[in-house]
A and B are shown apart, each in its own frame.
Chain A
Amino acid sequence: MSAVQTSQRVDEAPAVPAPSRPAVNVVRRAIARAVLGLCVLLLAVFILGPLIWLSLRAFAASWSYPSLLPESWTLSWWRQVLADQTLGSSIRLSFTFAPVVTALSALICLPAAYAFARFNFPGRRVLLVSLFATNAFPKIGLFVSVAGLLYSLHLMGTFLGVVVVQLLGTIVFMTWIPAAAFASVPRSLEEAARDVGAGPLRVFFTVTFPLAAPGILVAMILSFLASFDEAQGTFLVGAPNYITMPTEMYTLVLNYPEQAAAVFSILLSVPSVLLMLLVRRHVMGGRLAEGFHLR
């Protein structure tokens, strides 16, 4: 995020009109550079500030207003959180739900993505755009009505109910990004495979799928994270039987000192950070942006 902002700023710098006298030129360039530096600094404080504060907080024994750093340090918050029994079970639950939801989402959405990419059927555009509808409404409103539906189906407080409510948030990623990935595989590559004797299914698994795989991987990571971080719907449908890490956060924030919450939020971010580092190449390579270029 910060890298993108910086590069935009750099692009703007040469746009400063060059005056005729070199002295003025130098001054202007210095000012432009100073403004640029300030912007970068502000952005860094804005993005990194809360994270730094959070990490310091997790190790602070006492930290009061005027001092810039905590006055004394401790690991007791970590001990306290890690010793908590509900924590272990919430971590286990989170790591159960996320893969199940991701796999199920892939199963449902990938065929749809392929259809969106390769076939022109009536209502294609309407359907494609309406996938965004789940993101257009306030989530909590959607969850409440879904909860009503699940209640009548006797799915409230069940594993399946939580899976269903978490699936909602993954559909857009799992359809749009793989659809763009499938669409970017040239048809002639598939035709060439047909030409030398491969049937349609074999063509899909040996040519289309491997070439779309990076896009699909990105979609799966994003779905995994969406499911992993989903708190509202999970709490509404799953509590008190199924408490995942993000829903556990609510309890922690309300019942423990804020240092414990800081520790927990760092724990919660570990899988996200690891996954992001893992797929950084694909995400940075514009695959993510490509996902939203579908016509």
Chain B
Amino acid sequence: MSDGLRLRGITKVLGGRTIVDGFDLEVRRGELVCLLGPSGCGKTTTLRIIGGFLRPDAGEVLIDGTPYTHTPPERRPTAMVFQNYALWPHMTVFKNVAYGLRLRKLPKREVAERVERVLESVNLTHHIHSYPAQISGGEQQRVALARALVLEPKVLLLDEPLSNLDAKLRVRVREDIKQIQQRVGITTVFVTHDQDEALAISDRIAVMNNGRIEQYADPHALYREPETRFVADFVGTMNFLEARVRSASQGAVVDLGDGVVVPCAAPTAFLDTPGTVGVRPEDVHVVADGDGAKARIVRVMPRGHYKEIVLDLDVVTVRAFVGMEQPTEGDVRVRFGRALVYVDDRLRRGSPSAPARSPAVS
């Protein structure tokens, strides 16, 4: 329990604004956790508090059970990869990576060996004597990572490390980071505003909003069962519908009002007064005819191996992700798969398979 990183009740006020508000986080040893949220949600501030660049106004930072709340960054077992990499332009790649080792008064031979080993692990041995300005953005990124890893810190901190890379490279580098992190087995906190990135590499994701954690879960649970409306909106795409959820003769239905009723295979709860119902686009099933609510296709956007279509259900429009073989014109029938029911912006779980117990039935 004492292993890894723990934050307890961290609060930080900057310029009269509460940036981080009673923040608790527990990261197990060797785990990669993402702090995910919109800009200004306090994720970078939290990371800087872990790294020691900011002192919290309240709360505690524990690493392997030892408190580091008031320790300056140079005496913390943490290493940070900065958003702009922060490589020293007047030093070669070798000197950048060796800087921290030299401070520790290690013998020259050992310094050289360790620098070479870590540069090998990020595939940069050929640039060992280059200056940061002479190598590409992706390579600079890897140097920054090597500089952090060479000291074998207990906690690795990454502050939006991929935001300065182009889209293709971003995907490749994030896989590299994940691979290296797993090989070294280092406890890692990764800050990003990109939900794709977070879903792809995290063991667990903490979605942040207004300095608080909205939900802390693994990527699968986070995507499948967003606990709050904010998370549902921020992670992935979601159709939000003002509707009731009740049971009908053919099973559960989402009642959008004005006589528009969409059959729904698996709502999380029933709802007798109109609330918010969230349906992922891949849970919107479109068929040419058969069971379902009538809808008209108004727009089709090819997305490569799938299509995004916009459907008009008279009272609302709904986005759906469908296969390439699906019809793309005219009138269709729509059914929902999973539907997430939110009351007061929180996920409500009922017993969708037992409609008799639902208060919606009267």
Contact = CB atoms under 8 A, between A and B. Distances in A.
Interface of A: 186, 188-189, 191-199, 202, 206-207, 210-211
A233 B82 CA distance: 51
23 contacts: A186-B86, A188-B82, A188-B83, A188-B84, A191-B53, A192-B87, A192-B88, A193-B88, A194-B53, A194-B74, A195-B78, A195-B79, A196-B74, A196-B103, A196-B147, A197-B104, A197-B151, A199-B74, A206-B99, A207-B88, A210-B90, A211-B88, A211-B90
Given A194-B72, A196-B79, A199-B74, A189 B86 contact: yes
A191 B52 CA distance: 10
Question: SS class of chain A's interface: helix, strand, loop or mixed?
Answer: helix
A206 B90 CA distance: 10
A210 B88 CA distance: 10
B99 A193 contact: yes
Interface of B: 51-53, 72-75, 78-80, 82-84, 86-90, 99-100, 103-104, 147-148, 151
A197 B74 CA distance: 4
Given A196-B148, A197-B74, 9 more contacts: A188-B82, A191-B53, A192-B86, A192-B88, A193-B88, A194-B74, A195-B52, A196-B147, A197-B104
Contacts of A189: 86, 88
Nearest to B98: A196
A189 B144 CA distance: 11
Nearest to B73: A194
Contacts of B72: 194
A252 to B, nearest CB: 46
B86 A188 contact: yes
A188 to B, nearest CB: 4
A193 B103 CA distance: 10
Contacts of A191: 53, 73, 80, 82, 86
Contact of B100 (A186, A188, A196, A211): A196
B151 A196 contact: yes
B103 to A, nearest CB: 5
A211 B151 contact: no
Closest 4 CB pairs of A and B: A196-B100, A192-B86, A188-B86, A194-B73
A186 B104 contact: no
A199 B82 CA distance: 19
Contacts of B82: 188, 191-192
A202 B72 CA distance: 14
A197 B103 contact: yes
Contacts of B89: 211
B90 A195 contact: no
B73 A195 contact: yes
A211 B88 CA distance: 9
A206 B74 CA distance: 15
B84 A195 contact: no
Contacts of A194: 52-53, 72-74
B48 to A, nearest CB: 9
Residue of A188, A195, A197 most packed against chain B (CB within 10 A): A195
A195 B84 CA distance: 15
Contacts of B90: 210-211
Contacts of A202: 103
A198 B80 contact: no
Given A188-B82, A191-B53, A191-B82, A198 B88 contact: no
Contacts of B84: 186, 188
Contacts of B104: 197
Contacts of A207: 88
Residue of B74, B82, B89, B103 most packed against chain A (CB within 10 A): B74
A186 B83 CA distance: 12
Contacts of B75: 197
A33 to B, nearest CB: 40
A162 B1 CA distance: 70
A246 B349 CA distance: 90
A258 to B, nearest CB: 50
A27 B73 CA distance: 69
A196 B151 CA distance: 8
Contacts of B73: 191, 194-195
A206 B82 CA distance: 19
Contacts of A197: 74-75, 100, 103-104, 151
A198 B86 contact: no
Given A186-B86, A189-B88, A195 B80 contact: yes
A195 B100 CA distance: 9
Nearest to A211: B90
Given A188-B84, A192-B82, A192-B86, A198 B51 contact: no
Residue of A186, A192, A202, A211 most packed against chain B (CB within 10 A): A192
Contacts of B99: 193, 196, 198, 206
Nearest to B90: A210
A224 B212 CA distance: 56
Nearest to A210: B90
Given A186-B84, A186-B86, A211-B89, A198 B53 contact: no
B57 to A, nearest CB: 20
Nearest to B144: A192
Contacts of A196: 74, 79, 99-100, 103, 147-148, 151
Contacts of B103: 196-198, 202
Nearest to B96: A192
Given A188-B82, A202-B103, A195 B51 contact: yes
Contacts of B100: 196-198
A156 B106 CA distance: 56
Contacts of B52: 194-195
A199 B104 CA distance: 12
Contacts of A193: 88, 99
A242 B108 CA distance: 53
Residue of A193, A194, A197, A207 most packed against chain B (CB within 10 A): A197
Nearest to A194: B73
